[in-house]
Structure 1
Amino acid sequence: MMASISEIDRTTYLWFNQFQQQKWLMKITRGVSFTGDGYFYPLIAGFIYLINKELGLIFLFTGLLAFLFEIPSFIGLKHLFKRNRPFVQLHNAKKLVQPSDKFSLPSGHAAAAFVVATLIAYMFPYWAGLAYLWATLIGLSRVLLGVHYPGDIIAGAALGVMCTFVSILALA
């Protein structure tokens, strides 16, 4: 079963990797990926604070707690699984950005984006669809840029959602 999941992951990755030829798409993809680098998250919290101080503080503290769970978790899982990045493992794979670390599972970008998306969805349900679409596009961008398998994104998304719900429950 794990072998077939890995094969689907590799095949899907290589299918996405072929789109790197589309320069216009890669410009957009880099921009989307940049929104998941972490610089955007404090801006979201600040914007919410400007609109509603109480909700802004709840968003900030819940998000900080979620990241306190998420960051060590994704780092620990990467060192536990030690899954090589696809461009290292597959001879015909290319990367368009330099990843920040050696291992790929789970995706830290996806985990962080889903922390923020889940928190937005919880606090502002009418924005849930847009928030999850944005987080999904960040994850997809990491596959298109060649640094993650699709399974890494799924694992990162699950980790981000779980860490957010743990922080929501802890502060309830």
Structure 2
Amino acid sequence: MQAWLRHLNELEVSVCRLWSRSGQGRWIRYPFALVSRLGDGVFWYSLMAALPLVYGLNGLQASLHMLATGSIALLLYKSLKGMTRRSRPCHHASDITALVPPLDQYSFPSGHTLHAVVFSSVAIYYFPVLAWILVPFTTLIALSRIILGLHYPSDVLMATLIGLGLAYASLSAFA
């Protein structure tokens, strides 16, 4: 597995260099750092707290569904990170700088992206009107992880696919 990941790292590192360089300017770095910080959980927990206040019992059901699915996503992504142990781009190449401190050591998959996709998908299922804010926000979170030098594009892509699959499975089972 490690040899395959090293090869994949070499294929993707040039994209990471380019995107990381684009994030060096303050006008890019600060907004993407803020989006990434909000994706740490601040935005999602605030949304889960607000949904019952705005939508009553249906909002509570959606929030509990988001919380349950997010918990499964946490266990899944921590397991995958422990199994793959893929180095982050900023640790793989000395010319890629982490523009914010990473929350953990490994890169694959992007936990921020995985949770953003899961939370957004579940919330939009219950309240389609939220798509106009959640889809762009989730996209910005995914992009921020590459621009900030923390993830490879495949980390973000696979996290998106895993998140969509997990959200779909949870909606099929619980909604």
The two structures share one fold, judged by TM-score above 0.5: yes
Whole-angstrom CA distance in 1 between matches of 2:85 and 2:67: 27
Partner SS for 1:35: helix
Whole-angstrom CA distance in 1 between matches of 2:8 and 2:21: 20
> 1:88: which partner in 2?
91
1:1-172 to 2 correspondence within 5 Å? 6-172=9-175
Partner SS for 2:160: helix
Partner SS for 1:14: helix
4+ residue runs over 4 A deviation: 1-8
Contact 2:117–2:138 under 8 Å retained in 1: yes
Contact 2:23–2:148 under 8 Å retained in 1: yes
Shift of 1:6: 4.6
Whole-angstrom CA distance in 1 between matches of 2:59 and 2:102: 31
Identity, % of aligned pairs?
28
Partner SS for 1:38: helix
Query: Quick one: which amino acid aligns to residue 43 of structure 2?
Result: F
Contact 1:66–1:166 under 8 Å retained in 2: no
- 156-165 or 95-104, which moves further after superposition? 156-165
- 108-117 or 156-165, which moves further after superposition? 156-165
Whole-angstrom CA distance in 1 between matches of 2:63 and 2:168: 14
Change in Cα spacing, 1:37 to 1:76, as seen in structure 2 (3 Å) is same
Whole-angstrom CA distance in 2 between matches of 1:146 and 1:96: 6
Shift of 1:91: 2.4
Unaligned runs of 5+ in 1: none
- 4-13 or 47-56, which moves further after superposition? 4-13
Whole-angstrom CA distance in 1 between matches of 2:24 and 2:65: 40
Shift of 1:5: 5.6
- 118-127 or 134-143, which moves further after superposition? 118-127
CA RMSD of aligned residues (A): 2.0
Contact 2:70–2:119 under 8 Å retained in 1: no
Whole-angstrom CA distance in 2 between matches of 1:150 and 1:133: 18
Shift of 1:88: 1.1
Query: Quick one: which amino acid aligns to residue 28 of structure 1?
Result: P
